[in-house]
Amino acid sequence: MAYDCIIVEIEDEVALIRLNRPEALNALNKQLLEELAQALTEADQNDKVRCIVLTGSEKAFAAGADIKEMAEKSFVDVFVGDLFTAPTEAILRVRKPIIAAVSGYALGGGCELAMTCDFIIAAENAKFGQPEINLGVIAGIGGTQRLTRFVGKSKAMDMNLTGRFMDAAEAERSGLVSRVVPTAKLIPEAMAIAGKIAEKSQVAVRAAKEAVNRSYETTLREGLLYERRLFHSLFATEDQTEGMAAFLEKREPQFRDK
């Protein structure tokens, strides 16, 4: 499918999806979000894709929801239209891992979109923030909820109440991002990390993603039980036999996703 607001490339079993509205710093308008949801769903269904990288430009991952599009909307428009719900739900349904590779601004809905991915790699120039308070509103796609889980109440409250930005070093220190890399190396590093994930058994990869995500939704006891049951069930796979045999035979495993 042809897209106007995103660019999709598939390279060595990794789908690279670039947000592409440079004139608006990749602000998330309706069309971009619908195209993104469609592209992620297609990547999830494409057998040639084993991992997904979502990125923007060097200047901006995304500067938030499109303020020009939102400015004239009424309560009834956004409530009845359920603004942002459908694309966000579509992203959450993707079962393959999604890495957010963030360079430049990840603000408002941009920061929230990055947090909806499975983990975030930041370029040294990345800036994260929830500045919706400056527009007389608050975050609407997880900026008060996911950010609090990532960085704790104090920092999340600080960012949501003052609208200040967090740089890449602070984001790594606070647990918002998993790694920081030189800005010029962001895409090669993200693609290499995605490539490593693509080499693993996709059965185990899906189980790991599901289990980590479950920790956000349940108690520790239930989460541990869920993890243990998934762990037990992986002993029914050929990849478990192969992975453990390869270790013992001191060779690389040949996973077949079975």
Q: Which residues are catalytic?
A: 65, 109, 112, 132
Neighbours of 241 (CB within 10 A): 13
Task: For residue 32, state whether it binds ligand CAA (rule: CB under 6 A).
Answer: no
> Residue 80 or 220: which CB sits closer to ligand CAA?
80
Task: For residue 78, state whether it binds ligand CAA (rule: CB under 6 A).
Answer: no
In whole angstroms, give the CA distance from residue 36 to residue 109. Answer: 14
| Of positions 65, 99, 100, 151, contacts ligand CAA by CB under 6 A | 65
> Residue 107 or 120: which CB sits closer to ligand CAA?
107
In whole angstroms, give the CA distance from residue 102 to residue 232. Answer: 36
C-beta separation of 110 from 132 below 8 A: no
> Residue 84 or 150: which CB sits closer to ligand CAA?
84
DSSP 25-62: TT-B-HHHHHHHHHHHHHHHH-TT-SEEEEE--SSEEE
Task: For residue 49, state whether it binds ligand CAA (rule: CB under 6 A).
Answer: no
| Of positions 35, 66, 172, 189, contacts ligand CAA by CB under 6 A | 66
Q: Return the closest-CA partner of residue 121 out of 65, 56, 63.
A: 56
Phi then psi for residue 127, to 5 deg, are -135, 125
C-beta separation of 182 from 88 below 8 A: no
Binding mask 130-169 for ligand CAA (x = CB under 6 A): -xx--x---xxx-x--------------------------
Looking at residue 125, the DSSP 8-state letter turns out to be T
| Of positions 13, 42, 57, 67, contacts ligand CAA by CB under 6 A | 67
Interface positions, 90-129, toward ligand CAA (CB under 6 A): 105, 107-109, 112
The count of residues interacting with ligand CAA (CB under 6 A) is 22
- Chain positions contacting ligand CAA, by CB under 6 A: 24-25, 27, 63-68, 84, 105, 107-109, 112, 131-132, 135, 139-141, 143
